[in-house]
Copies of this chain bind each other. A is one copy, B any other.
Amino acid sequence: MELPFDLDELVRGALREDLGRSGDVTSEITVPDGAAARGRAVARAPGVVAGLSVFRRTFVLLDPSVAVTTSVFDGTAVEAGTALAEVRGPARSILGAERVALNFLQHMSGVATLTRRFVEACAGTGSVVLCTRKTLPGLRALERYAVEAAGGRLHRGGLDGGVLIKRNHLRMAGGVEEAVVRAKAGAPHTLKVEVEVESLEELKTALAAGADAILLDNADLETVFEAARLVAGRVPLEISGGVTLDRVGDIAAAGGLLISVGRLTHSAPAMDIALEVSPA
């Protein structure tokens, strides 16, 4: 997924949030007008970088005369101490945009870093890791970009990007069979119909009713493997619920699964990245 074409609005909003009415008072009263500076963005911990173009755009939107050169690509795993980008321009502009630029970069890289750990835990199994709709409000597009940059896959982008009948729908709709049949009849022909099941019995019902994909939620390892055997690759089989780094490799070993992990986006700790600014 590419970043949205109208990213500027989001970045401007974040700059406003930090600059307020009166802007960077501290720089204005301590740094001489016209002073030139350079800043080096450096990883202070190992991780997977994502969001360098958002980082760059933040400086440029505050002041088009700032130049940002990046030295790695999004998706790259770096060691602590790696230089990620260099920023050159008026010192006040660099200092004024610093925090917002880092807030974007640290969060996106945090998501990428956590995603990569899940992806690596599944390496060689033929199973893939997906993010979910459990994203931070306003940041979904950036988080999805970071997940993909780190090798994760994307679930639907929102409620209109697929049909996914979850437990709450089933309680309202009267059960797996009825819900799937109704959905197959009513869904736009461009969307698949996926249904959540919580037992192998329900899984069989779903397949028989013509579900295009199955979501098996909160199952133990044995059930996951049995489900994979039952589905046998006919439709995508998604596993969710309590998927930790400790467990994900064992689950993935069932092969060919889609493993969706909410914490990639709602609980990824920020990657530690600093900007060191000095006179140019």
Q: Could you list which residues of chain A lie within 8 angstroms of chain B, going by C-beta atoms?
A: 1-2, 4-6, 10-32, 35, 37, 39, 61-63, 91-92, 95-96, 98-100, 102-104, 106-107, 110, 133-141, 144, 153-166, 168-169, 171-173, 179, 182-183, 185-192, 194, 212-213, 236, 238, 258, 262-263, 266-270, 275-279
Contact = CB atoms under 8 A, between A and B. Distances in A.
B30 A2 contact: no
Contacts of A269: 263, 266-267, 269
Contact of A267 (B95, B98, B212, B270): B270
A4 B31 contact: no
A139 B21 CA distance: 11
A190 B155 contact: yes
Max chain B C-beta neighbours (<10 A), residue from A106, A136, A212: A136
Given A17-B138, A189-B213, A270-B267, A22 B154 contact: yes
Given A29-B183, A160-B19, A182-B30, A270 B266 contact: yes
Given A95-B172, A172-B277, 5 more contacts: A4-B21, A22-B160, A24-B159, A30-B183, A96-B159
A18 B103 contact: no
A172 B26 CA distance: 12
A239 B107 CA distance: 23
A127 to B, nearest CB: 12
Contact of A190 (B28, B104, B137, B194): B194
B133 A136 contact: no
Contacts of A14: 137-138
Contact of A31 (B99, B104, B140, B169): B169
9 contacts: A4-B23, A5-B61, A13-B138, A25-B188, A110-B267, A153-B188, A160-B161, A192-B192, A262-B270
Nearest to A61: B5
Nearest to A94: B168
A166 B247 CA distance: 42
Given A25-B188, A140-B21, A6 B10 contact: no
